[in-house]
Structure 1
Amino acid sequence: MDDTTIPPRKPLSEAAKRALAEAEARRAAIDAAQKDRPKEINGRNGPEPVRYGDWEVGGIATDF
């Protein structure tokens, strides 16, 4: 028997299908909104610090 075989999945319920469709629509709306924003000049590189709760400048991290 091959260990890499994937077992068959259960069919999704209608509620799960609606939830997946809503999530995809939400992601598409966010992507469209981000494309419309102007490019930031002299901004920080890397992940948004507010999202992760840490600010790091010159190797020193500050938690709020």
Structure 2
Amino acid sequence: MMVMANAKDKTSKTISAAAEQALAEARARRKVAAATRLPKEINGRDRPEPTRFGDWEVKGIASDF
């Protein structure tokens, strides 16, 4: 078990094994998410990607390819 200290009130508490595993999994997910961030698009659309948000209309003109 891991002991975590609270900086505000100078107390410590133990964390269960399940909580430790959840924290480790969350750290792993954040690490993967940080590594897979997409670069900023240059000369792209000025709004969210329509294929992700289902919005196929720009300034009242609907488009489908």
State TM-score, norm by structure 1. 0.48
More helix by share: 1
State TM-score, norm by structure 2. 0.48
Larger radius of gyration: 2
Q: Which has the higher contact order (CA 8 A, sep 6+)?
A: 2
